[in-house]
């Protein structure tokens, strides 16, 4: 069957996980949990006080472990079942694993994952839902105290950018779900996709910072608006 779109790029942010009970970053009592970004999410903070930063992410891990995907995540799975799955990529700024729990494929975590730690000595990625601290030993190089939560801190490079840039040039539909569009480079992805000719749509609660770059705005809870859109897209009724 010929589809309206060939390649779909889905960018997600904290808003897609809100209906799974996870706080967004810029809401009251947001994900930083009333900490200053400078104290918990910069590479300088990490080197200044590793115990404190480890504790912050250790405290966050159980909630993210227990969180369940919501209808917006599941709608992506449905879309990927109906389309050739490789033609739909999911690029997320979220460190939770709700896309994977929902069965989404081609998921790229550009800001890292809460269930991973990276060894700063050898680059090994350790998958773990357990605590990580300055006494954690890398299972690969066996050096102690070099495992950092695999979260991209301000001042570090984003992950998977080679794939992301290729997909941005290829996509003919760019969809943004639940992101405020204030943190770059992700906030600039829509501009690249648009430059290469993609239609652009956003699903959020309210107007975002880069709102003018989107052709269509669907305001409301993503768990309600996005599954409805997927139905319409699959029936080519848009
Ligand atoms: P924000 O907290 O900045 O924005 C969340 C967005 O989701 C807002 O635009 C809300 O309107 C929208 N939203 C909230 N609930 C929603 C719902 N139920 N349905 C649809 N939309 C909803 O979160 P992000 O844009 O993800 O970076 O933040 C970007 C980055 O800032 C994060 O990845 C993090 C932070 O600094 C790092 O950790 C490196």
pLDDT per residue as tens digits for the range 70-118: 999 999 999 999 988 789 999 999 999 999 999 999 999 999 999 999 9
The pair of three-digit structure tokens given for residue 96, joined into one six-digit string: 């939770």
For ligand 1, is residue 11 a contact (CB within 6 Å)? no
For ligand 1, is residue 225 a contact (CB within 6 Å)? no
Residue 31 has pLDDT above 60, yes or no: no
Residue 39 has pLDDT above 90, yes or no: no
d(CA 160, CA 230): 26
Provide the sign of the torsion angle of the four alpha carbons 154, 219, 18, 106, taken in this order. negative
Choosing from 35, 111, 124, 217, the catalytic residue is: 111
In this structure, are strands 107-109 and 125-127 parallel, antiparallel, or unpaired? Answer: unpaired
Cβ atoms 102, 122 nearer than 8 A: no
| Cα 2 to averaged position of ligand 1 atoms, centre (Å) | 34
Residue 55 has pLDDT above 70, yes or no: yes
| Cα 5 to averaged position of ligand 1 atoms, centre (Å) | 26
Cβ atoms 147, 126 nearer than 8 A: yes
pTM, whole model, 2 decimals? Answer: 0.95
For ligand 1, is residue 24 a contact (CB within 6 Å)? yes
The best mutation among 15, 20, 21 to test binding of ligand 1, ranked by most ligand atoms within 8 Å of the C-beta, falls on: 15
How much is the pLDDT for 28?
65
Q: How far, in whole angstroms, is CA 69 from its chain's centroid?
A: 13
Band of residue 37 on the pLDDT scale cut at 50, 70, 90: confident
| Cα 63 to averaged position of ligand 1 atoms, centre (Å) | 17
Cβ atoms 43, 155 nearer than 8 A: yes
Residue 2 has pLDDT above 80, yes or no: no
| Cα 49 to averaged position of ligand 1 atoms, centre (Å) | 26
């Amino acid at each position: 069957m010929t589809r309206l779109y060939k390649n779909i790029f889905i960018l997600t942010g904290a808003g897609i996980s809100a209906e799974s009970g996870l706080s967004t970053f810029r809401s009251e009592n947001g994900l930083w949990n009333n900490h200053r970004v400078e104290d918990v999410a910069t590479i300088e903070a990490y080197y200044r006080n590793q115990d404190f930063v480890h504790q912050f992410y250790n405290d966050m891990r159980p909630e993210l472990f227990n969180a369940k995907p919501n209808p917006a995540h599941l709608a992506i799975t449905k879309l990927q079942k109906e389309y050739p799955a490789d033609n739909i990529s999911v690029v997320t700024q979220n460190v939770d694993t709700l896309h994977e729990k929902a069965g989404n494929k081609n998921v790229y975590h550009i800001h890292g994952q809460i269930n991973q730690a990276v060894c700063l000595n050898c680059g090994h990625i350790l998958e773990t839902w357990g605590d990580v601290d300055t006494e954690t030993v890398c299972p690969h190089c066996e050096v102690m105290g070099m495992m950092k939560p695999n979260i991209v801190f301000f001042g570090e490079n984003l992950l998977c950018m080679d794939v992301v840039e290729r997909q941005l040039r290829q996509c003919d539909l760019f969809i943004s779900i639940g992101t405020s569009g204030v943190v770059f480079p992700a906030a600039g992805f829509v501009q690249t996709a648009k430059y290469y000719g993609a239609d652009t749509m956003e699903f959020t609660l309210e107007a975002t910072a880069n709102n003018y770059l989107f052709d269509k705005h669907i305001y409301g809870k993503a768990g309600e608006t996005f599954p409805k859109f997927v139905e319409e897209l699959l029936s080519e009724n848009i």
